[in-house]
Every structure is written in structure tokens, then in C-alpha cells.
Amino acid sequence: NMDSLGASGMSAFGNDQKTQVMRQIQQEAAMQNARMLVEKLNEHCFERCVPKPGTSLSKGEESCFTACMDKYMQAWNTVSKQYVARIQKESQQGGMGNTF
Amino acid sequence: MDISASSQIGANLDVTKLSDRDKQELQQFVVNESQKARIQASIHSLTDTCFRKCIPTGTVKKGSLDKYEEPCIKNCVDRFLDANLVVLRELERMRQ
């Protein structure tokens, strides 16, 4: 959002070089994240839903894929919340050092 | 997806022309983004592991996490981090 852009030193509408580089870095990070997600979704759901590849994907295999993707994204959200909460707690207690 | 931009991050940037304040902001930004990227990578890795551990093998029928799977995932994250602490502690002990 626009507030966090200002807080990180970025001008929302600026095209100065500093802002450009910051935007590029953020875009690259977002793309990397999306790439990882697609890779994992394909890996897990192909494994589970298409045990014996045929000459095409059946309706059953497709609906398994949809359910699998939903489940994986839910798992991702659960992990994300739990992980962030944990490292926030640890950093308050000063116990984890530079683990993260 | 246009990937051409990613190979040119900072290609137009002349660092010598940045003000001291801009240099500092950029440096802090890079530090923060690196940390965020590390956290994202950890979350991906943990989701991968915990999905395998907590979701019974075979086809998926429902798209939501049931009342066994969700606590399992949460426990998986916490136990993994506990185990990580054990590893660090033991490595430290072995060093001495």
C-alpha cells in the first residue's frame, strides 16, 4: 500500500533511479515467490492426483488437482501465520540470534 | 510473465550519483527485502515438509484442512523450530 511505500523511502509515483531499483527488487521477490508456489503445487498435486498418467487428464484428476491446490494454499497460509508468530515471539525473547 | 526486467535490476543505477541519504535508504531496503525473501523461502520449505507429514497420502477429496490436519500443520511448524534450536545448541556444544 502507499503508506508502506513512503515508509521504505519509495516515492509512489517517483521514477528516480533509487525508486526504480527498489520496485525491481520487490517485483523480483514477488516473481520468485510465485515461481516457488507453482513448482510446489505442481509437484505435490501431480504426485497425488495423477498416479498413472494416461493419454489425457480425467475429470476426476482435474477436480483432485483443484482440491489439492486449495488444500496446499491453506497449508501455506497456516504455516505462514504460525511461522511469523513464532519468530516474532522468539525475537522478543532474544533467543534465536540470527537464525532467520 | 516479463522476465527481462529481472536480469537488469540496477542496470541503470549509478550509485555514485545517489545522495548519502538515498544510499542509506537503499541499503536498508535491500537488507529488509533479503530478510523477507529468506522468510518466504523458509515458509515454502516448511509447507512442503509439513504437507507431506500431515496430509494422508493419496488423492485429495476436500480443499480445506480438516480438524486433524490443521493442528498437525501448526505442530509441525513449532516442532521443526524446536528441533532447529536443538541442532544449534548441539552444534555449539560440539564446537567447545
Write down the pTM of the prediction.
0.82
The one-letter code for the residue type at A45 is C
Contact B10/A84, CB-based, under 8 Å? no
Number of Cβ atoms within 10 Å of the Cβ of A4: 8
Whether B37 and chain A come into contact, CB under 8 Å, resolves to yes
ipTM exceeds 0.85:
no
Helix (H, G, I), strand (E, B) or coil at A98: coil
Angle at CA B83, nearest 5°, toward B60 and B78? 50
pLDDT digits (tens, 9 = 90+) for B57-81: 999 999 999 999 999 999 999 999 9
Helix (H, G, I), strand (E, B) or coil at A94: coil
Contact B44/A45, CB-based, under 8 Å? no
User: Terminus-to-terminus CA distance in chain B, angstroms?
Assistant: 51
Domain extent listing, chain B: 17-95
C-alpha torsion A53→A54→A57→A61, nearest 10: -60
pLDDT in tens, chain A (100 residues): 555 555 566 666 677 888 889 999 999 999 999 999 999 999 999 999 999 999 999 999 999 999 999 999 999 999 999 999 999 998 888 655 545 4
**A81 to chain B: closest CA residue:** B74
B-chain residues near A85 (CB < 8 A) = none
Select from B51, B93, B92, B44 the least CA-distant residue to B69: B51
Burial B44-65 (b: 16+ CB within 10 A, else e): bebbbebbeebbeeebbeeeeb
What's the pLDDT score for residue A91? 86
Whether B16 and chain A come into contact, CB under 8 Å, resolves to no
| CATH of the domain spanning B17-95, picked from 1.20.1050.10, 1.10.287.810, 2.40.50.140, 2.60.40.10 | 1.10.287.810
Grid coordinates in use for A66?
483443484
